[in-house]
Amino acid sequence: MLYVVLLLKLTQGCLNHPDYPLHISSRSLQTGPPVPEPDWRSIRITPYYINNTSSLGDIKSTFIPLAIEFYKKVLKIVYNGDIYITSSTCSGIEVPDTYHLTNTSTDVIILITYDENSETGAWAQPCECSEDIGMRPILGRMHFQGTFESMTWEQKQALCIHQLAHILAYDARLLPYFLGKIGETYGIDQVLGYTSRRNSQISYLKTPKLIEIAREAFQCNNLYGLDLENTFSEKSTSLHWEKRIMNNDFMVADSNIYYISYSDISFSIFEDSGWYQVDYSYSNNILWGYHKGCEFLIDPCVEKSNYMFNEFCNTSSSISLCDHSHTFKGNCNMGIQSSPIPAQFQYFSDVFIGGNDSFTDFCPYVKPETTGSCRDIGIENTIINTVDYGENACDSCKCLEGTYVSQFSTMSVHWHAGCHQITCEGNVAVVHVGGEVVFCDPGGGEVTVRGYDGYLICPSSDVLCKDLPCPFACYGNGKCVNGQCDCYSGYSGLYCDSGSMIRGLEWIALVVLVVN
């Protein structure tokens, strides 16, 4: 079991869970000749609440059921009949008699516990895998603690989907049992690798579908694996992506993210386990680092105080900028830290200056303003300046930067971000500024606007005309198709929020919750 020690990953501040053993069971249930074709069916996940979980509120009543329904749509398993739990304990708690040594008509049982009087957070891990079904997990524990009142709808949904992923595939102890195309186990050396990159020792996953999708997403044909979070610990077996590379993906360790992405990269691990068929229509392409090449994965984010990719920044927090998705106005999170930044993450001459987020290796990037949503779906109403900048907030609006200021304004020309409606005609983006329109070159560049001094910077059409993930993942009430929510029966609205339990739109809370 030496590989467990080598695999353990944890990010600073993550909730630790004890290193409980993973139980392997076998009953040899197959009788008669083998089934000619696998019978793939939607996965059935059964939750069981162990203790007084009533204080979990909507985590229990809404978001755990939504997460279970999410995986029911996304994942299929080979049906082998009932499962049979042989383990008497699961991550330190007793398995209820209801499920112990009993045939149960489900595919996975999740034991859910809650501690109201502890630091807010959550963790999850698998407890038992069945040898009869290719070592697929059939039992796990999901633990919540503290209060989740400050979290938004989007964050709660991602929290529960994230935790279930740890039981289904994202746990280091499961990696040696991942299956190849003919049912052979890969072995740990075929799944996990180690190297030195960006002045740090890192570990990475290197499974086939992951490499295929990530190479296309980052446009890096030499990619041989994707980095896991870069701080080691012997206190957790949970696997997370390195946030500096996968910033707002649902499988990073930090929940202080917004516009959460359910990427095809993260979905690929379920397929690569060999246990699941995956419906990728419920996933989306990454935005962060999209088509930035191998350099984005290898090189420092900032060199000689200059940012190397436009996902990052190096300016004062007082200057308005656009975030990486170009859907929010925000500010660079660069600041003075309370202690020297670790040497490998020092990008500026002052060892105290860097990004405020340790999960991104202290790389500074634009964090949204609570009033900065160009689509006007923020927790606060979007503030726009129609007089000086000709701004607008709408579903098709995006964020652009420049020095442009109305010739009727009392302001002088200065750098700022602004929200503007974008319409795309083929690969040409049309930007609406006040009552004027400008046409952007597909490759991007500076344009001037009639009636405005200064200039506006057009990103490339790949940015302005690219379909984006649907906000709030369509509230779990629809599927995102070409950037638009296709609502299920009984739901309607731009984001499928009508006809459901939703009470208003919100996207980010100014809290930091780390998920393990």
Residues 317 and 264 reside in one and the same domain: no
pLDDT at 150: 83
* Span 51-67, average pLDDT: 91
pLDDT band at 10 (very low <50, low <70, confident <90, very high): very low
Q: What b/e string do you get for 316-350 counting C-beta neighbours within 10 Å, with b at 16 or more? A: ebeebbbbbbbbbbbbbbbeeeeeebeeebbbbee
Strands (E), 91-135: 93-94, 103-104, 108-115, 121-130
**Do residue 230 and residue 268 come from a single domain?**
yes
Residue-level pLDDT at 100: 95
Between 516 and 419, the more confident residue is: 419
In a domain, 298, yes or no: no
Please tell me the distance from the alpha carbon of residue 9 to that of residue 203, in angstroms, as a whole number. 9
Please indicate, yes or no, whether residues 141 and 125 belong to a single structural domain of this protein: yes
Percent of the chain with pLDDT over 70: 90
What's the whole-number average pLDDT of the chain? 88
* 71 has a pLDDT exceeding 90: yes
Q: How far apart are the first and last CA of the chain?
A: 22
Across 193-202, 302-311, 426-435, least confident range: 193-202
Q: Which residue has the tokens 């009639």?
A: 450
Are residues 432 and 459 located together in one domain of the fold? yes
Q: Cβ neighbours of residue 406 under 8 Å, at least 6 residues apart? A: 387, 388, 389, 390, 434, 451, 452, 453
Task: Output the pLDDT for position 401.
Answer: 97
Question: What pairs with residue 9 in β-bridges?
Answer: 232
Q: What is the pLDDT of residues 308-333, one digit of tens each?
A: 999 999 987 788 999 999 999 999 99
Residue 141 lies in a domain: yes
- The answer to whether residues 513 and 157 touch, using CB atoms and an 8 Å cutoff, is no
Q: What are the DSSP calls for 356-409, one per residue? A: S-GGGTT--BEEEEEEEETTS-SSSPPP--TTTS-----TTEEEEEE--EETT-
Reported confidence tier of residue 18, pLDDT bands at 50, 70, 90: low
In Å, what is the CA distance from 95 to each residue of 102, 139, 429, 474?
A: 11, 9, 58, 35
Q: Which residues pair with 512 in a beta bridge?
A: none
CATH number for the domain harbouring residue 316: 2.10.55.10
Cα 319 to the chain's mean position, in Å? 27
Q: How confident is the model at residue 255 (pLDDT cuts 50, 70, 90)?
A: confident
Q: Taking residues 181-197, what's their average pLDDT?
A: 88
Q: Are residues 63 and 159 in the same domain?
A: yes
**Length of the chain as a residue count:** 516
Residues 133, 70 within the same domain:
yes
Could you give the number of structural domains in the chain? 4
Burial class (CB in 10 A: 0-12, 13-18, 19+), 183: exposed
Which residue numbers belong to the known binding site? 240
Contact between 76 and 276 under an 8 Å Cβ cutoff? The reply is: yes
Q: Taking Cα atoms as reference points, which of 263, 248, 258, 255 lies closest to residue 329?
A: 258
Whether 43 maps to a domain, the answer reads yes
362 and 223, same structural domain? no
Alpha-carbon distance values, 411 to 224, 320, 329, 414, 416 (Å): 51, 15, 19, 8, 12
| Statement to judge: residues 185 and 253 lie in one domain | yes
Domain check: are 323 and 432 in the same one?
A: no
Pairwise CA distance, residues 329 & 190, whole Å: 43
Residue 491 resides in a domain: yes
**52: confidence class by pLDDT, cuts 50, 70, 90:** confident
Residues 398 and 322 in one domain: no
Same domain, residue pair 91 and 160: yes
Using one digit for the tens of pLDDT, what is the confidence trace for 470-500? 988 899 999 999 899 999 999 999 999 887 4
* Same domain membership, residue 417 and residue 356: no
Would you list which residues are annotated within the binding site for Zn(2+)?
240
User: Please, are residues 132 and 28 in contact by the beta-carbon 8 Å criterion?
Assistant: yes
Structure tokens at 14: 């993550």
Dist CA 182 CA 511 (whole Å): 46
pLDDT for the residue 118: 86
Phi/psi at 473 (5° precision)? 50, 40
Lowest mean pLDDT among 58-62, 116-120, 419-423: 116-120
Residue 6 pLDDT exceeds 50 = no
Note down the domain range covering 337.
305-372
What amino acid is encoded at 511 in this protein?
A: V
> Does the residue 291 lie in any domain?
no
> Is 335 within the bounds of a domain?
yes
pLDDT tens for 356-398 read 999 999 999 999 998 999 999 887 899 999 999 999 999 999 9
Q: Does 235 score more than 60 pLDDT? A: no
Q: Is the pLDDT of residue 306 over 90?
A: yes
> Is the pLDDT confidence value at 425 over 50?
yes
Q: Are 110 and 84 in contact (CB under 8 A)?
A: no
Selection from 273, 354, 277, 270 nearest residue 313 by Cα: 354
Label the pairing between strands 23-25 and 121-130.
Answer: parallel
Cα separation, 225 vs 104, whole angstroms = 38
User: Does residue 9 register a pLDDT over 90?
Assistant: no
CA-closest candidate to residue 418, choices 234, 409, 287, 187:
409
Q: Regarding beta strands 23-25 and 226-227, do their DSSP bridges make them parallel or antiparallel, or are they unpaired?
A: unpaired
Query: What CATH number is attached to the domain comprising 235?
Result: 3.10.170.20
How many C-beta neighbours within 10 Å does residue 254 have?
A: 22
Assessment of whether the complete model's pTM goes beyond 0.85:
yes
pLDDT confidence of 450, banded at 50, 70, 90? very high
pLDDT of 184 reads: 84
Span 204-233, pLDDT tens digits: 999 999 999 999 999 999 999 999 997 544
How far apart (Å, rounded) are the C-alpha atoms in residues 373 and 367?
A: 11
